């Protein structure tokens, strides 16, 4: 590291790395310099002039947000001149500001309020009538109230640099300046709401939250997004048991402040009017509401009877339920029901990767690695659509560290714009195409390879062999679809593998029927489906089978069931989930739906009805067992308990799996889709961009990515 | 969007007039030339210029907001700009504007009902030596008196009537 620079600030001598911006150096020294437009991680703007400081030997006040510290610099942030400047800047910002704090969404957590409270003047010298412009709606998500805007351009930069969308700009000049959307009077964008959350004032508000509540009336519950596999932390604002907003302004979690439209606004499925709140039991051919006691007794009795006569069970687990529930489910199937016919919808080939990586240490990349890796290769995924947070990480890595991104996809993707090299190859042909990147890849210090569902079975082994042949450290991310797709695989919701990728034969069992065989078996006696919707695509062949479904909604599968049990959502329970990179994170219950129970509790109660004991159905207890018995899951408890992400280290040996690439396929969700669950979010289905498209990058957004100067 | 062959030719030349990767430099001239042909900058034109220059629509929008010579609304056939800035003002520019307003029957940025004229009060046009100055379309008229102004308008009206006859 280069020598430190010594400078004086408010009479104290302190040191900082050369080229550190004054605003950052001051912060490191414990001195706050107020700022609106300066924002960590994005390009410098120097627009608000809130950060003016006095620098000796410089005639005028200087902006601390773009001035690097230099040796011997003498800075004052506490002089009367600086105080007067701050007051003056705030007075100017308030010239046309409506001061409608009593009704403003931001009231109570507004940076302008805070600044005026701390540095401002109680009176304004302006007596002119304030310019008023009516509020505008740009999309179901985004509303803009111009008079409140202080033109800090944070929204413009987060959308352009952070998201790579560039949907916002600045229109007009002088006091008429305002933020403008990309389609004249409306937005066509990711609808992620990053611009709304980053806005220091209430100029941008969301269709979901506006005028709903006040920030201090909510409980703030940090949990994990239940949609895609990226595992973003989302902080639910909960009032009276109902979620009113989701954001991550405290930047906790792997994702910092990132959230896509699903994480920020998709939560409304939770209080959708069609949520199931009572069990349903089929009587005379029709599903009718029943009490929990009746429903559980019906299921328990039937399951016990089928088991007793040696009937055939099928069990289909979920991509959204917790690790504990998945672990418990495979126990329930194998012990309580005595069947190996258990599977889940496999959306990526995790098991083959783990097998192919035997003997490799540290070959699974974490989400944090994506921000630091010198190079990454994307194969067969429209990353910004399917894995929004991973795409955000790579973009930030490029802006801050000039990471080299390579991509081989079947169509144009957002990453093309800044990638070092991209290539089009039909699905399944990617591994032939990758050879032409060999020379470039081998020159990198290390590489992370992210691959989609077209790389499965043998192709995964070939990919790992290719990685090995590069002669540099390579790590992998097997892209899977949902919030706990990875966990379902790790926890052995598979016909041939037990938790931790142990073969069932090790436990003296025979592999059972896989997903497709369960659905096509004509002699199935009972089917147990936990938060999954297989019949949306494939009908059940066994017409006589007794079907039990646990779900939030009356899905196509639930409609065919004999008993439907209302399940709690991920936002209503504790427990852990494992993200696409194999990091374990903890859910925290925020909301509550009357009548619904967690899948864990339901399984426990059914086994009790059946008169078998497979352990206590408490998340903490099951997690303790998972940590103890599942290889790789002996994660640091303090990390998980305090809301951190603990990486798992699965087996480092051969996995005795049956290659079934035909069973692996991604649901190809776009930014606005998420399997069955997404259908129940009014916000997701109401945006103009719904349902979105993969590989449909419009030509017009071929803007060059900027590398930010401030790192 | 399609333009006249002459304009298309101009666009093609524009796109090769800047260093590689700098087609965004063509945004302003493209907008100006297209505005001359279409009379104003429509939403469709914004998207088209964005597409042709490889920038986003919102970036084109930003440029239009910045330059007052780019118009988002159709105007009359002749844009009559009267300078009321200091040099013109001291020799009757303000009175001239008021007279123009009376003659045309419209105020600042107003368009006559026949769609022939749009009046605008403007800042210095760099014709101070010949104040008071006005501009009609791209033509300058120097030391304009109310009488000369009326004759000019009369002439344009007559010319229009002529073309309508044929
Ligand atoms: S919602 Fe997201 S994509 Fe849309 S303008 Fe805001 S930051 Fe950009
Ligand atoms: S809308 Fe908000 S974030 Fe955007 S410039 Fe205005 S104040 Fe800043
Ligand atoms: S990227 Fe995935 S995990 Fe993150 S907010 Fe979006 S859907 Fe949720
Ligand atoms: S923070 Fe320095 S000018 Fe805005
Ligand atoms: S002041 Fe009128 S042209 Fe200069």
Same domain, A384 and A527: no
- In this structure, what CATH number is given to the domain that contains residue B52? 1.10.10.1590
Same domain, B41 and B12: yes
Same domain, A310 and A444: no
Same domain, A491 and A599: yes
Chain A CB contacts of B46 under 8 Å are 184
Residue B72 lies in a domain: no
Residue-number span of the structural domain to which B48 is assigned: 5-66
Residue B90 lies in a domain: yes
- In this structure, what CATH number is given to the domain that contains residue B139? 3.40.30.10
pLDDT in tens, A512-536: 999 999 999 999 999 999 999 999 9
Same domain, A208 and A119: yes
Residue B149 lies in a domain: yes
Task: Provide the shortest C-alpha distance from residue A641 to chain B (in Å).
Answer: 45
Q: Are A194 and A163 in contact (CB under 8 A)?
A: yes
Q: How confident is the model at residue A698 (pLDDT cuts 50, 70, 90)?
A: low
pLDDT in tens, A369-391: 999 999 999 999 999 999 999 99
pLDDT in tens, A288-329: 999 999 999 999 999 999 999 999 999 999 999 999 999 999
Task: Provide the shortest C-alpha distance from residue B25 to chain A (in Å).
Answer: 14
Q: How confident is the model at residue A122 (pLDDT cuts 50, 70, 90)?
A: confident
Find the ligand nearest to B83 CA: 5
Residue B47 lies in a domain: yes
Q: What percent of chain A has pLDDT over 90?
A: 95
Residue B124 lies in a domain: yes
Residue A104 lies in a domain: no
Same domain, B83 and B62: no
Q: Is the ipTM of this complex over 0.85?
A: yes
Chain A CB contacts of B50 under 8 Å are 700
Q: How far apart are CA A265 and CA A208, in angstroms?
A: 7
Same domain, B132 and B57: no
Q: Verify whether the Cβ–Cβ distance B58 to A182 is below 8 Å.
A: yes
Count CA atoms closer than 13 A to A307's CA, side-chain side.
20
- Bridge partners of B81, per DSSP, are B120, B135
Same domain, B10 and B46: yes
Name the strand (E) or helix (H) holding A117. Answer: helix A111-119
- In this structure, what CATH number is given to the domain that contains residue A127? 3.30.70.20
Token pair 């992370």 in the structure block, residue = A448
Best A160, A178, A184 member to test B by mutation, with max B CBs in 10 Å, is A184
pTM over 0.90: yes
Same domain, A452 and A505: no
Which residues are within 8 A (CB) of A710 and not within 5 positions of it... i.e. 6 or more apart? A21, A40, A41, A42, A43, A44
- pLDDT, residue A168, reads 98
Mean pLDDT of A201-212: 97
Residue A689 lies in a domain: no
Q: Return the closest-CA partner of residue A187 out of A210, A208, A166, A157.
A: A166
A263 lines ligand 3 (CB under 6 A): yes
Residue B108 lies in a domain: yes
Burial of A56 (0-12, 13-18, 19+ CB in 10 A): exposed
Residue-number span of the structural domain to which A28 is assigned: 5-93
Same domain, B140 and B87: yes
- CA distance between the termini of chain A: 15
Q: How confident is the model at residue A1 (pLDDT cuts 50, 70, 90)?
A: low
**Residue A512: other Cβ atoms inside 10 A:** 22
Same domain, A14 and A52: yes
Q: Cα–Cα–Cα angle for A400, A403, A409, nearest 5°?
A: 130
Same domain, A123 and A263: yes
Count of helices and strands (H, E) across chain A: 23, 30
Q: How far apart are CA A573 and CA A619, in angstroms?
A: 9
Mean pLDDT of A388-410: 98
Whole-angstrom CA distances from B96 to A293, B88, B119, B143, B145 are 91, 9, 12, 10, 7
Same domain, A497 and A634: yes
Which residues are within 8 A (CB) of B27 and not within 5 positions of it... i.e. 6 or more apart? B49, B53, B55, B59, B60, B63
Which residues are within 8 A (CB) of A592 and not within 5 positions of it... i.e. 6 or more apart? A241, A572
Helix axes A323-331, A619-629, angle to 10 degrees: 80
Mean pLDDT of A162-172: 96
Mean pLDDT of B72-97: 96
The three-class DSSP label of residue B97 is helix
Q: Verify whether the Cβ–Cβ distance B61 to A169 is below 8 Å.
A: yes
Residue A696 lies in a domain: no
Q: Return the closest-CA partner of residue B152 out of B52, B65, B81.
A: B81
Residue B36 lies in a domain: yes
Same domain, A445 and A554: no
Chain A CB contacts of B59 under 8 Å are 166, 169, 703
pLDDT in tens, A337-351: 999 999 999 999 999
Which of A462, A478, A494 marks a domain boundary? Answer: A478
Same domain, A467 and A611: no
Q: How confident is the model at residue A650 (pLDDT cuts 50, 70, 90)?
A: confident
Chain B CB contacts of A173 under 8 Å are 65-66
Same domain, A635 and A532: yes
Count of domains in chain A? 4
Find the ligand nearest to A112 CA: 2
The answer on pLDDT for A414 being more than 60 is: yes
Residue A382 lies in a domain: yes
Residue B61 has its nearest CB partner, among A171, A173, A699, at: A171
- pLDDT, residue A700, reads 41
Q: Are A534 and A527 in contact (CB under 8 A)?
A: no
Which of A436, A452, A478 marks a domain boundary? Answer: A478
Q: How confident is the model at residue A400 (pLDDT cuts 50, 70, 90)?
A: very high
Q: How confident is the model at residue A707 (pLDDT cuts 50, 70, 90)?
A: very low
Same domain, A431 and A518: no
Q: Are A333 and A315 in contact (CB under 8 A)?
A: yes
Count of domains in chain B? 2
**Residue A45: other Cβ atoms inside 10 A:** 19
Residue B55 has its nearest CB partner, among A168, A170, A703, at: A703
Residue B73 lies in a domain: no
pLDDT in tens, A456-502: 999 999 999 999 999 999 999 999 999 999 999 999 999 999 999 99
Average pLDDT, chain B: 95
The answer on pLDDT for A704 being more than 50 is: no
Residue A703 lies in a domain: no
The answer on pLDDT for A701 being more than 90 is: no
Same domain, B54 and B86: no
Which residues are within 8 A (CB) of A255 and not within 5 positions of it... i.e. 6 or more apart? A230, A231, A232, A233, A248, A367, A389, A392
Which of A254, A271, A288 marks a domain boundary? Answer: A271
Q: Return the closest-CA partner of residue A281 out of A270, A266, A292.
A: A292
Show the 3-state SS of A493-530. Answer: CCCCEEHHHEEHHHHCCCCCCCHHHHHHCCCCCEEEEE
**Total residue count of chain A as it appears in this document:** 711
- In this structure, what CATH number is given to the domain that contains residue A89? 3.10.20.740
Q: Verify whether the Cβ–Cβ distance B65 to A702 is below 8 Å.
A: no
pLDDT in tens, A235-289: 999 999 999 999 999 999 999 999 999 999 999 999 999 999 999 999 999 999 9
Mean pLDDT of A360-371: 96
Same domain, B40 and B61: yes
Residue A134 lies in a domain: yes
Q: Point out the ligand 2 atom lying closest to the alpha carbon of residue A195.
A: 3
- In this structure, what CATH number is given to the domain that contains residue A470? 3.40.228.10
Same domain, B152 and B85: yes
Mean pLDDT of A405-415: 97
Same domain, B41 and B120: no
Best A698, A700, A701, A702 member to test B by mutation, with max B CBs in 10 Å, is A700
Whole-angstrom CA distances from A93 to A36, A158, A177, A320 are 11, 22, 13, 46
Same domain, B91 and B61: no
Whole-angstrom CA distances from A654 to A354, A360, A447 are 8, 11, 24
Task: Provide the shortest C-alpha distance from residue B156 to chain A (in Å).
Answer: 33
């Amino acid at each position: 590291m280069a020598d430190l620079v010594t400078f004086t600030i408010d009479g104290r001598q302190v040191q900082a790395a050369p080229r550190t911006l004054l605003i950052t150096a001051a912060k490191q020294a414990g001195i706050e310099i107020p700022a609106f437009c300066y924002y960590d991680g994005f390009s410098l703007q120097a627009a608000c002039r809130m950060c003016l400081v006095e620098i000796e030997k410089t005639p005028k006040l200087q902006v601390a947000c773009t001035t690097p510290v230099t040796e011997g610099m003498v800075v004052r942030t506490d002089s009367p001149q600086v105080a007067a400047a701050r007051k003056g800047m705030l007075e100017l910002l308030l010239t046309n500001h409506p001061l409608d704090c009593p009704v403003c969404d931001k009231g109570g957590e507004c940076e302008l309020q805070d600044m005026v409270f701390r540095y401002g003047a109680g009176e304004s010298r302006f007596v002119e009538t304030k310019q008023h412009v009516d509020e505008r709606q740009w999309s179901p998500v985004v509303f803009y109230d111009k008079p409140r805007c202080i033109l800090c351009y944070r929204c413009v930069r987060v959308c352009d640099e952070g998201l790579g969308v560039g949907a916002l700009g600045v229109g007009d000049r002088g006091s008429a300046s305002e933020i403008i959307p990309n389609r004249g009077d409306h937005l066509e964008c990711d609808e992620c709401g990053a611009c709304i959350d980053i806005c220091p004032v209430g100029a941008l508000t969301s269709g979901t939250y506006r005028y709903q509540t006040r920030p201090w009336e909510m409980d703030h519950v940090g949990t994990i997004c239940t949609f895609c596999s990226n595992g973003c932390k989302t902080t639910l604002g909960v009032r009276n048991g109902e979620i009113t907003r989701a954001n991550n302004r405290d930047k906790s979690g792997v994702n910092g402040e990132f959230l896509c439209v699903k994480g920020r606004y998709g939560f409304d499925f939770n209080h959708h009017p069609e949520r199931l709140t009572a069990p349903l039991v089929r009587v005379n051919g029709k599903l009718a509401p029943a009490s929990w006691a009746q429903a559980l007794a019906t299921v328990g009795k039937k399951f016990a009877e089928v088991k007793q006569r040696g009937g055939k069970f099928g069990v289909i687990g979920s991509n959204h339920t917790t690790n504990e529930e998945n672990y418990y489910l495979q126990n329930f199937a194998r012990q309580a029901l005595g069947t190996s016919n258990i599977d889940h919808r496999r959306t990526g080939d995790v098991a083959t990767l783990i097998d192919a990586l035997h003997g490799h240490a540290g070959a699974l990349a974490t989400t944090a690695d994506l921000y630091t890796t010198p190079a990454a290769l994307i194969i067969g995924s429209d990353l910004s659509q399917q894995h929004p947070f991973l795409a955000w990480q790579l973009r930030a890595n490029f802006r801050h560290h000039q990471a080299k991104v390579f991509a081989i996809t079947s169509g144009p993707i957002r990453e093309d714009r800044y990638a070092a090299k991209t290539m089009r190859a039909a699905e399944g042909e990617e591994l032939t195409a990758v050879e032409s990147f060999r020379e470039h890849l081998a020159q990198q210090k290390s590489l992370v390879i992210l691959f989609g569902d077209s790389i499965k079975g043998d192709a995964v082994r070939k990919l790992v062999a290719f990685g090995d042949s590069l002669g540099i450290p390579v790590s992998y991310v097997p892209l899977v679809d949902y919030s706990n797709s990875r966990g379902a695989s790790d926890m052995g919701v598979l016909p041939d593998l037990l938790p931790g990728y142990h073969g069932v034969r090790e436990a003296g069992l025979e592999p059972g029927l896989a997903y497709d065989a369960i659905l096509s078996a004509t002699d199935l006696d009972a089917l147990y489906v936990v938060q999954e919707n297989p019949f949306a695509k494939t009908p059940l062949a066994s017409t006589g089978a007794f079907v039990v479904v646990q779900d939030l909604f009356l899905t196509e599968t639930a409609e065919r069931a004999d008993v439907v049990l209302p399940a709690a959502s991920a936002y209503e329970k504790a427990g852990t989930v494992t993200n696409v990179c194999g990091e374990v994170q903890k859910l925290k219950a925020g909301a509550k739906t009357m009548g619904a129970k967690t899948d864990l509790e339901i399984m426990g109660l059914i086994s009790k009805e059946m008169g078998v004991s497979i352990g206590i159905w408490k998340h903490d207890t099951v997690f303790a067992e998972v940590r103890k018995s599942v290889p790789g899951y002996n994660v640091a408890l303090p990390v998980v308990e305090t809301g951190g992400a603990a990486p798992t280290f699965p087996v480092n040996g051969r996995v005795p799996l049956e290659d079934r690439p035909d069973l692996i396929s991604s649901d190809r969700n776009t930014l606005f889709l998420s399997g069955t669950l997404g259908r129940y979010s009014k916000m997701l289905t109401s945006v103009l961009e719904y349902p979105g498209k993969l590989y449909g990058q419009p030509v017009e957004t071929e803007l060059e990515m900027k590398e930010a100067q401030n790192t | 969007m399609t333009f006249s062959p002459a304009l298309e030719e101009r666009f093609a030349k524009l796109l090769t007039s800047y260093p590689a990767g700098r087609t965004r430099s063509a945004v302003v001239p493209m907008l100006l030339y297209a505005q001359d042909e279409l009379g104003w900058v429509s939403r469709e034109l914004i998207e088209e210029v964005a597409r042709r220059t490889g920038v986003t629509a919102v970036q084109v929008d930003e440029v239009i907001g910045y330059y007052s010579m780019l118009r988002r609304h159709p105007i009359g056939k002749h844009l009559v700009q009267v300078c009321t800035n200091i040099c013109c003002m001291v020799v009757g520019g303000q009175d001239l504007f008021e007279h123009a307003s009376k003659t045309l029957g419209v105020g600042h940025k107003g368009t006559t009902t026949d769609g022939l004229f749009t009046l605008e009060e403007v800042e210095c046009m760099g014709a101070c030596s010949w104040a008071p100055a006005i501009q009609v379309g791209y033509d300058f008229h120097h030391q304009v008196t109310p009488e000369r102004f009326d004759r000019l308008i009369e002439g344009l009206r007559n010319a229009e009537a002529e073309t309508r006859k044929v």
